[in-house]
Structure 1
Amino acid sequence: MDPLIKLEEILFIVAVVSYLVSSFLYIWYLITRSDRAVKLGTIILVLGLAAHTIALMLRWVSSGHAPMANLYESLSLFGWGIVLFFLIAQHFYPVKVAGSLVVPTAFLITSVAGVFYEGPQPLVPALQSYWLWIHVTIAMLSYGLFALAFGAGFFYIVQEYLLKKQYQNVVAAFVILLAALGIVLGLWAGSVWAEPAKVADELGRIDKIYTGEDTAKILGGAGFGLLIGAILGFVAGKGASRPGFSKRLPSLDVLDEVSYRAIAFGFPLLTIGIITGAIWADQAWGRWWGWDPKETWSFITWLYYGAYLHTRLTMGWRGKHSAILAVIGLVAVMFTYLGVNLLLSGLHSYTPT
C-alpha cells in the first residue's frame, strides 16, 4: 500500500476518534458546566481538525485531484467544514454549549464517511475539471455554515421554552429532533443495506431500480431509526428540563445572532456554488441547467434560505420564527446532499456533491 494512503487512513481515524472523544466532553460540559471538560474538548477537537486537514491534503496528493470525487471524500470534507466553522464561532461567541450538538453531528458525518471509504480512484471524464474543487469546496463550506445555524437555532428554541418553563415543549423539541435524525440515519442505513440494480445511460446518469425487498429495507431502517431517536430524545429532553439548565445555555440574543450570521454567510456561498456548478455542467454535459434532481433540490434549498433572509430583513422575523426556519433548513440541505444521491437517479448519482 502507498505510504501516503496508509498515513491518510491513520490520520482520518485519529480525526474520527478525536471528534468522538470531543463529543463526549462537550456533552459533559452541557451537563456539568465543567470548564475543564470544555477546554479539553476544544483542544482535542482542534487536534482532530488538524489531523483531518492533513488527511485531506494527503488524499489530494495521492489521488492527484481534490478529495471531492466520491461519497467518502465529500462526507469527510463536509464534517471537516462543520468542525472548522464551529471552532471559529466558538472563538468569537459564547456558544460552547452548542458543541454538544454540532460536534456529535460532525462525528456522525465523518464516521459515516469511513463506512464508504475507498482508495483513490481515477476521475470519471465529467469530473476531470478544475471546477470540481471550486464548486464542491464552496458548496461544502455553505453546508457547514447551515449546520452551525441549525445547532444555534435548536438551542434557541430550547432556551426559550426553558425560560418560559414550558418543559413539555423542551421534551417535544428533543424528541422531534432526534427522531428526525434517527429517520435520516435509518434511511441511510436502509439504502446501504438495499442493493438496487444500477443502470447508466450515455450521459452518465445512474438509474436505480428498487425491488419491493429493497423498499422494505429502507422503510424498515427509517422506522427503527425513528423509534431509537424518539427514545433518546425523550431521555435528553427530560434531562434538559431540570431546573437551572437554562443557565448553561447562551442567551437568546447570542444564539439568534450566531444562527443568522451563519446563514447570512452561507447563502452567498451556496449561490456561488450553484453558479460554479452550472458552469461545470456546461463544460461537462453541454448545458447549464437540466433540472437534474440534484440541481432541482439545490435550487429548492437556495430558495428556502433566500426566504429565511427575506423574512428576517423585510418582515422582521427574528427569534423563534428564524430559529425554526434554521432548524428545518438543514433537512433540505441533507436531502440535497445525501438523499438525492442515495434515493433518486441523476447525473450526480456517482458523486454526492
Structure 2
Amino acid sequence: MGAERSSSRAEAASRISVRGWPRGLLLHLLVPMGAAGAFVLLQWRGVIASPESETPLVVLVLIHYLGAAVFHLTSLYQRDALLERLGLWTTAVGLGLNAAAWGTRGLIVGYYPLSNLYDTALFFALATAAASLIVTFSSGQHLVGALAMPVAVLLVVLGLLYGNDVQDLPPVLVSYWRPIHVTLAMAGYGACTVSFVTALLYLLKDRVRLEVIAIFALAIPTLTYAFISGGSILGQGDFFVKLLMDGERVPIDPEGREFLRASVPYVGAILRVAFVASVLALIAFAIFLITAHPFMRAVGHWAARLLLVLQGAGILVLLLQLQRARDVAALIDPAQRRMIPEWWVQQFGSRLELRAQGSALEIAALFAAFALTGFIVVFGWKMERLLEAIPSLEALDQLTYRAVMLAFPLLTLMVITGAVWANESWGRYWGWDPKETWALITWLFYATFLHTRITHGWKGRRSALLAVLGFVAVMFTYLGVSFLLPGLHSYAGRFGATPLVA
C-alpha cells in the first residue's frame, strides 16, 4: 500500500512539474518572448545595430524548429525525459528567435509586418509554436510538438521560399485594423494547428487504420505531381520555375496571364518517377483495405518509403540547381523560347533570375508533399510502439477541445474585425469575397465542433474528424484562396509584373 502511494505521488509530482503553468510558461514562453522583445527594442533605440536583413535569424528559427521536431518525434519511439526536455527547450529558443526575426522585419520595413505571405508565414509559425507550448504545459502531454513543429517548419520554409523583398504597402492595407485583424487570424490558425495535431493522433489511437489516412495523405503528392507546373511533369517530364527580372515575374502576353519560365534540369524526371511511386502506394493501400492481404500492405509502405526518397532527391536537386544556375536564358521553356524575339534574349537574358520566389507556392507544395509522405513512413514504422506512447483517447479528446477553445474566440474576433476593416476600406461589411466566404466556412467548422460537443455531447472520433476538416479549411483559406481564387485578397500571393516581353 505504501509503495502504491509512493508511486502515485511520484507520478503526480512528475506531471505537476510538466504542467506547472507559472514556471513552465515563464521559462519556455514568456522568457523567450521577453528576450526577443528586448532585442527588438534595443535595435529600435539604436543601442545595438540593426541587421540589414532578418534572414539569418529566420534560418536559425528553421534549424531550431527542425531540431525540436526531431527531438519530439524521437521521444515517441524512445521514451526519454531528456529528449522531451530538449524538444521543449529547442521549441522555446526557436520561438524567441522567431519573435526576434519577425520584430526585426518590422523595423526594416517600417510598418507592422503582417502584409504578405512571408510576414504571415513567420507569425503563423510563431503562433503554432506558442500554442504547442501552451497546450503542452496546460495538459502535461509532450506529444503535441511531434506534429505541430513539423507544421511550423513548413511555414518557415514557405516564408523563405516566398522571399522577404521590401515592398510598399498597398493603400488598402494602410489601416490600423490590419495588425489587429491579421494578428488574430494567425494566432487563431496556430491554435487550429494544435487541434489538428491532437485530433489526428486521436484517430490513430482510436485504431483508424494508418492506411486509410495514408490514402488521403498520399493523394496530395499524387495530385501535386499531376497538376503542378501545368501538368508538365507527367507531360514532357519538366518542372518549371517562373523566372524573375529585378524581383518581378516577366509576362509574355499583353494580358499578363502567362509568365516566362525555366525548366529545371532533372527535377521533372525525378518527380515523374515519384508520381508512379505515389500511385503504386495508393493502389496497394486500397487493395489492402479491401482484401486485408498483408502483402499489399507491405507493398504500400515500401512504395511510400521509395516515394519519400524520390521526393527528397527531387527537392535536393531542385535547390542545388537554383543555387548553381548560371546561363538562365538557356533554360527557358522551349515552347516559350520560340515566342520571344532573339534581340530580347540578347538584351535582357543576363538579367533573368532563377529563384525559388518565382514559384514559391509550387515549391512549397513539394515540401508539403514530402512532409505528408514522411508522416506515413514515420508512423508506419513500429506503429504499435508509437500507439503505446500516445496518450489515452480521453486525454487526446480533451487536448483537442482545449485547442479549439483557444482557437474559436480568436477566429470569431478575426471575422468581426475583418468585417469592420472591410467596411472602412470598401464601404460594406460583407461582400462574399472568396477570402471572406472561406473565413466564414472555417469559423463554421469550429463553431459546429463546439456546438455539437456542448449541446449534443459529441466526443471522440466525430469531433476529431471535425477538427481535421476545420484545419483543411484553415489552410485553404490561408493559401488556396490567395493564390487560386480571384478576389480582393489576392494581393497576398502576387508579384508585381513588368511587361518586358512583347
Partner of 1:170: 210
Once the 2 structures are TM-superposed, how far is the Cα of residue 5 of structure 1 from its aligned partner? Answer: 4.7
Deviation of 1:123 (Å): 0.8
Maintained 8 Å contact 2:53/2:105: no
Specify every segment of 5 or more residues in structure 1 that has no aligned partner in the other structure, as ranges: 199-206
Q: What whole-Å deviation, never above 9, does each CA across 1:291-350 have from its counterpart, x for those lacking one? A: 111111111111121111111111111011111111121110000110011111111111
Return the letter of the residue paired with 1:72: Y
What is the aligned-residue identity percentage?
35
Report if aligned partners of 1:184, 1:225 keep a CA contact under 8 Å in 2.
no
Distance in 2, matches of 1:105 and 1:308, equals: 22
Change (3 A) 1:272 1:319: same
In 2 relative to 1, CA 337–190 (structure 1 residues): closer, same or farther, beyond 3 Å?
Answer: farther
Report the alpha carbon displacement of residue 6 of structure 1 after superposing the two structures with TM. Answer: 3.1
- Does residue 12 of structure 1 match 2:52? no
**Distance 1:64-1:251 versus aligned 2 partners, 3 A rule:** same
Which residue in the other structure is 2:148 paired with?
102
- The answer as to whether partners of 1:282 and 1:288 remain within 8 angstroms in 2 is yes
Q: Could you tell me how far 1:235 is from its partner in structure 2?
A: 2.8
* 1:138 alignment partner in structure 2: 184
The question of whether the paired residues in 2 share the 8 Å contact of 1:59 and 1:120 is answered with no
Offset of residue 184 of structure 1: 8.6
**Distance apart, 1:231 and its partner CA:** 5.4
Deviation at 1:225, TM superposition (A): 11
Mapped to 1, the partners of 2:96 and 2:276 lie a distance apart of 32
Does structure 1 residue 346 correspond to structure 2 residue 487? yes
Residues 219-238 of structure 1 aligned to structure 2 (within 5 Å) = 224=275, 227=278, 228=307, 232=374, 234-238=376-380
User: CA 1:237–1:18 in structure 2 vs 1: closer, same or farther (change >3 Å)?
Assistant: closer
Residue 284 (str. 1) matches residue 425 (str. 2): yes
The structure whose Rg is larger is 2
The worse-fitting range, judged by mean Cα deviation, of 225-234 and 74-83 is 225-234
1:27 counterpart SS class: helix
**Alignment check: 8 A CA contact 1:197 1:209 kept:** no
TM-score by length of 2: 0.60
Say whether 1:295 aligns with 2:436. Answer: yes
Q: Which amino acid aligns with 2:134?
A: I
What does residue 118 of structure 1 align with? 164
Equivalent in the alignment of 1:261: 402
**1:180–1:52 distance in 2 versus 1, CA, 3 Å:** farther
Mapping for residues 187-226 of structure 1, pairs under 5 Å = 190=229, 209=257, 224=275
- Contact 1:18 / 1:47 at 8 angstroms: preserved in 2? yes
Instruction: Give 2:200's match in structure 1, choosing from 139, 144, 154.
Output: 154
Q: Distance in 2 between matches of 1:157 and 1:292?
A: 34
- Distance in 2, matches of 1:188 and 1:108, equals 21
- Seen in structure 2, the aligned counterparts of structure 1 residues 36 and 186 have a Cα distance that, compared at 3 Å, is farther
Is residue 332 from structure 1 mapped to residue 489 from structure 2 by the alignment? no
Q: CA contact under 8 A between 1:78 and 1:140: conserved in structure 2?
A: yes
* 1:321 equivalent in structure 2: 462
158, 165, 179: which one aligns with 2:218: 179
Counterparts of 1:260 and 1:197 in 2: how far apart (Å)? Answer: 48
Residue 93 of structure 1 aligns with which residue?
139
TM-superposed CA distance for 1:121, in Å, is 2.1
Give aligned pairs, total.
328
Unaligned runs of 5+ in 2: 1-48, 231-238, 243-248, 262-267, 279-306, 308-368, 494-502
CA drift at 1:224:
4.4
Q: In the aligned structure 2, how far is the partner of 1:113 from the partner of 1:53?
A: 14
Q: Give distance in 2, aligned partners of 1:293 and 1:129.
A: 21
Equivalent position of 2:23 in the other structure? none
Corresponding letter in the other structure for 1:46: A
Q: 1:338 to 1:190 in 2, by over 3 A?
A: farther
- When residues 208 and 302 of structure 1 are mapped into structure 2, their CA distance, relative to the original with a 3 A threshold, is farther
CA displacement 1:11-30 (0-9 Å, x = unmatched): 11111111111111111111
AA in 2 matched with 1:134: I
Q: Which residue of 2 aligns with 1:66?
A: 112
Q: Does 1:306 align with 2:345?
A: no
Q: CA deviation at 1:189?
A: 6.6
Cα distance in 1, alignment partners of residues 374 and 91 from structure 2: 24
- Is 1:24 matched up with 2:64? no
1:233 deviates by: 5.0
Letter in 2 for 1:241: M
The answer as to whether partners of 1:171 and 1:241 remain within 8 angstroms in 2 is no
Task: Provide the rounded CA distance (Å) in 1 between the counterparts of 2:181 and 2:66.
Answer: 29
Structure 1 window deviating more from structure 2 (31-40 vs 67-76): it is 31-40
Aligned-pair CA distance for 1:240: 4.6
Q: Structure 1 residue 34: deviation in Å?
A: 2.1
Q: Equivalents in 2 of 1:62, 1:194: separation in Å? A: 28
Q: Quick one: distance in 2 between partners of 1:53 and 1:145?
A: 17
Distance 1:109 1:45 in 2: 15
Separation of aligned partners in 1, 2:97 and 2:411: 27
Q: CA deviation at 1:72?
A: 0.5
- Amino acid in the other structure paired with 1:19: Y
Partner-residue secondary structure (3-state), 1:96: coil
Alignment partners' CA distance in 2, 1:326 and 1:225: 31
Report the residue type matching 2:133 in the other structure.
Answer: L
Do 1:11 and 1:52's aligned partners in 2 also have CA atoms closer than 8 Å? yes
